[in-house]
């Protein structure tokens, strides 16, 4: 299980280093293949920019806590709180499923493996993440946690997607050419990461 200290750092390097880690959610397991970083202090795309409740959440909770919200009244989104020199969230955008596929298929209504968790809303539905998981400690429950990466994976870096503000920040990280990412492009290539560290 990843210790709390893993999340006691800035959002950007934490988002980068979560790539390749394994998320356990009950019987379901998946390799994290896509994340995005959100900075609580001066990032117009972060909930803390416009939501006092998000700022209160950051102040009151420990790093490694799940921040779950309902996006556009359609999808739940799973984030993890991180608190280093800078504070913020890491959005878990996509997983490559490795266990619990039967339940994921039933929840998602598709048996296409690359469609089960290839986006933050899809993975939340596949895993059964809901608002009841908001505030869950992901560093204390072996049934709801992250495991350290089993192997180092290449990482591509680019701007975040699906937002309308601060779109140019290169804070989206994903495994290049992995068909489980939310916006798969076969021409993706890894390149050095940039941003605050």
- Say what the pLDDT of residue 184 is: 62
Which domain covers residue 83, as residue numbers?
A: 4-174
Structure-token match 């972060």, residue found: 46
In Å, how far are 24, 73, 166 from 173, measured between CA atoms? 20, 26, 16
pLDDT tens digits along 126-140: 999 999 999 999 999
What average pLDDT does this structure show over 70-92?
Answer: 95
Q: What is the pLDDT of residue 13?
A: 98
* 33 domain-assigned: yes
pTM of the predicted protein model: 0.92
Give a yes or no: residue 180 inside a domain: no
Q: Is residue 164 part of a domain?
A: yes
Q: Residue 189 pLDDT > 70, yes or no?
A: no
Q: What is the CATH number of the domain that holds 21?
A: 3.10.300.10
In a domain, 39, yes or no: yes
**3-state SS assignment for residue 76:** strand
Domain count, the chain: 1
Structure tokens at 188: 């993706």
- Has residue 185 been placed in a domain? no
Q: Is residue 157 part of a domain?
A: yes
Task: Quote the pLDDT of residue 187.
Answer: 42
Is beta strand 156-158 parallel, antiparallel or unpaired with respect to 172-174? antiparallel
Other residues' Cβ atoms within 10 Å of the Cβ of residue 163? 16
State the pairing for strand pair 172-174/28-39. Answer: antiparallel
Residue 116 confidence class, pLDDT cut points 50, 70, 90: very high
Confidence (pLDDT) at 74: 87
HSE (side-chain half, CA atoms, 13 Å) at 115: 8
What number is the average pLDDT over the span 7-15? 98
State phi, psi for 108 to the nearest 5 degrees: -90, -20
pLDDT in tens, 143-163: 999 999 998 999 999 999 988
Classify residue 35: in a domain, yes or no.
yes
Average pLDDT taken over every residue of the chain: 92
Alpha carbon 81 to its chain centroid, in Å, reads 10
pLDDT of residue 110 exceeding 70: yes
Q: Work out the average pLDDT over 1-8.
A: 98
Q: Quick one: which H or E segment has residue 105?
A: helix 101-108
> Does residue 118 fall inside a structural domain?
yes
Tokens 């989104």 found at = 77
Which residue matches tokens 């870096």?
A: 157
């Amino acid at each position: 299980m990843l210790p709390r200290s893993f999340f006691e750092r800035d959002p950007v390097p934490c988002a980068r280093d979560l790539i390749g880690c394994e998320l356990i959610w009950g019987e379901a397991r998946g390799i994290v293949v896509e994340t995005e970083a959100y900075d609580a202090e001066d990032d117009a795309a972060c909930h803390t920019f416009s939501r006092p409740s998000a700022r209160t959440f950051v102040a009151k909770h420990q790093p490694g806590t799940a921040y779950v919200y309902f996006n556009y009244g359609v999808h739940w989104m799973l984030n993890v709180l991180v608190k280093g020199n800078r504070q913020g969230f890491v959005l878990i955008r996509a997983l490559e499923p490795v266990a619990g596929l039967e339940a994921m298929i039933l929840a998602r209504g598709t048996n296409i493996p690359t469609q089960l968790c290839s986006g933050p809303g899809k993975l939340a539905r596949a895993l059964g993440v809901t608002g009841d998981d908001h505030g869950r400690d992901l560093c204390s429950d072996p049934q709801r946690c992250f495991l350290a990466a089993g192997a180092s994976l290449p990482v591509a870096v680019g701007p975040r997607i699906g937002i309308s503000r601060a779109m140019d920040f290169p804070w989206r990280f994903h495994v290049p050419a992995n068909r489980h990412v939310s916006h798969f492009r076969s021409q993706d290539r890894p390149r050095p990461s940039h941003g605050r560290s």
